[in-house]
Structures are given as structure tokens and as C-alpha cells.
């Protein structure tokens, strides 16, 4: 006689689960809706699960902001690490933007909207923007531009990317890749490098390779 199968115990939610749910709510509805009761209801758990990982709502909001900051500073560190091995070039920055997590732009926009309501968040956003602009200014100075022109070019380059996020600008990926050499020429005042063209070629072929892999697997 076969016994009744035992139900699997419910998986205990992790700290990362709560942060992921809070991030989605922040993106979809704004920071005012990132509340413990609402998140618990969405995830079908009790408030006790939340307090296993956080002391209060502010802890969760701090973790959410730290997540956004970490993503920015990680990318900056990665670019600097690559520049340590090769001549600094905008290619590494472009590659990080084009190959970024598709969910990041909406997260970035949501954090910037949150910054309008919180001094602490606004200061964190200012620090991250300053870090990106500082990175780009350093690049342009090494390319031969003086301090003022390097700063202006750095701001234009960074604000150009933030504009893509903020406007929710939509264009086919292939079209954006096609225009990158022209953007590069306008932003840097230099002709596209062999490194940039190779990187773009890799980005063009990567989606095709993924499609071929899925077809073979099917």
C-alpha cells in the first residue's frame, strides 16, 4: 500500500528574495508601496519572515539602495580593471552599457525618482553619478583633452546614457549597435578604434549564437 506523499516544506524566503520583491515593487509602483505588509502579502508569507532578515522597513530600503550602488560601482571597478591591462578607451564603457542587465534601466529610473523624496538617496545618486563622470573625465584627459573639456565630454557621455534610461527610449538592438561608431565619434572626437569594432562584432554575433544554441537544444 502506497502512503500519501508528504507535502514538500515551503522554501524559507531569503534576504535576497525580499530585496528582489522590493526592487520589483519600487520599479512598478514607487518607493511608497515598498511596505512590509504588501510585500508579505505578495509573497504569501507572514511578516515574521521579513523580521528574520531585517529589523525594520528602513533596513530593507537601505539594502535596496545598496544593491543599486553596488551595481554601479562594480561596473566602474570592472572598467578600471580592464583599463589597467590596455590603453583606456570608451569601448569598455560602451560594452558595459550594451551588455548590461536588461532590468537595470528601469531600476535606475526608479531609484532616481526615489531620490526626489529622500535626501540620503539623492546623495547616493550624486555620488554614483560623480564616480561615473570622474571615470569618464579621466579617460578624456588621458586622450589629450584639457580639464574643462574632459569634464564637459564626460558629463555629456554620462547624461546621454542616463537619458536612454529616463526616456525609456526604444530602438532595435541591431540599430543601436549600428549607430555606436557614430556616437563614439561624436562623444570622443576620435575615430572608432579596432577594439570598439571588434566588441560590436562580438555583440552582434552573441544573440545569433544564443538562438542557434536554443535551436540545437530543441
Closest CA to 118 of 155, 64, 167: 64
pLDDT of residue 207: 55
CB count in 10 Å sphere of residue 1: 2
Structure confidence by residue, pLDDT tens digits, 77-125: 999 999 998 889 999 999 998 887 888 999 999 999 999 999 999 999 9
- What b/e string do you get for 44-57 counting C-beta neighbours within 10 Å, with b at 16 or more? ebeeebbeebbeee
Whether 37 maps to a domain, the answer reads no
Q: Summarize pLDDT for 159-169 with one digit per residue, the tens.
A: 999 998 888 88
Share of residues in the chain with pLDDT > 70 (%) = 89
Identify whether 203 is part of a domain. yes
Mean pLDDT of 136-144: 96
In which band, very low, low, confident or very high, does the pLDDT at 152 lie, cut at 50, 70 and 90? very high
Domains held by the chain: number: 1
Buried-state track 97-119, b at ≥16 Cβ within 10 A, e below 16: beeeeeeebbbbbbbbebbeeee
Of residues 25 and 8, more confidently modeled: 25
8-34: average pLDDT:
87
The reply to whether 189 falls in a domain is: yes
Work out the average pLDDT over 135-153.
96
Asked whether residue 132 is domain-assigned, the answer is yes
Q: Is residue 66 part of a domain?
A: no
pLDDT in tens, 109-119: 999 999 999 99
Containing structural domain, residue 166 = 87-217
61 lies in some domain: no
- What's the chain's average pLDDT? 88
Say which DSSP state 171 is in.
Answer: -
pLDDT band (50, 70, 90) for residue 11: low
Highest mean pLDDT among 11-15, 42-46, 123-127: 123-127
Residue 130 belongs to some domain of the structure: yes
Q: Tell me what percent of the residues of the chain surpass a pLDDT of 90.
A: 68
For 167-209, what is each residue's pLDDT tens digit? 888 888 889 899 999 999 999 999 999 999 999 998 887 654 4
* Within-domain flag for 182: yes
Amino acid at each position: 500500500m502506497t502512503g500519501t506523499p508528504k507535502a514538500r516544506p515551503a522554501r524559507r524566503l531569503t534576504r535576497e528574495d525580499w530585496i528582489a520583491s522590493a526592487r520589483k515593487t519600487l520599479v512598478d509602483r514607487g518607493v511608497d508601496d515598498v511596505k512590509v505588509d504588501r510585500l508579505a502579502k505578495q509573497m504569501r508569507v507572514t511578516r515574521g519572515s521579513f523580521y528574520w532578515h531585517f529589523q525594520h522597513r528602513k533596513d530593507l530600503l537601505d539594502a535596496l539602495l545598496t544593491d543599486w550602488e553596488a551595481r554601479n560601482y562594480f561596473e566602474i571597478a570592472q572598467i578600471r580593471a580592464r583599463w589597467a591591462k590596455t590603453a583606456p578607451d570608451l569601448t569598455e564603457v560602451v560594452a558595459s552599457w550594451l551588455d548590461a542587465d536588461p532590468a537595470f534601466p528601469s531600476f535606475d529610473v526608479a531609484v532616481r525618482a526615489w531620490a526626489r523624496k529622500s535626501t540620503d538617496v539623492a546623495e547616493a545618486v550624486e555620488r554614483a553619478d560623480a564616480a561615473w563622470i570622474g571615470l569618464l573625465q579621466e579617460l578624456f584627459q588621458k586622450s589629450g583633452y584639457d580639464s574643462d573639456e574632459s569634464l564637459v565630454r564626460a558629463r555629456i557621455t554620462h547624461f546621454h546614457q542616463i537619458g536612454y534610461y529616463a526616456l525609456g527610449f526604444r530602438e532595435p538592438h541591431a540599430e543601436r549597435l549600428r549607430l555606436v561608431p557614430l556616437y563614439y565619434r561624436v562623444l570622443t572626437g576620435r575615430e572608432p578604434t579596432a577594439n570598439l569594432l571588434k566588441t560590436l562584432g562580438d555583440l552582434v554575433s552573441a544573440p545569433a549564437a544564443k538562438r542557434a544554441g536554443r535551436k540545437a537544444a530543441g
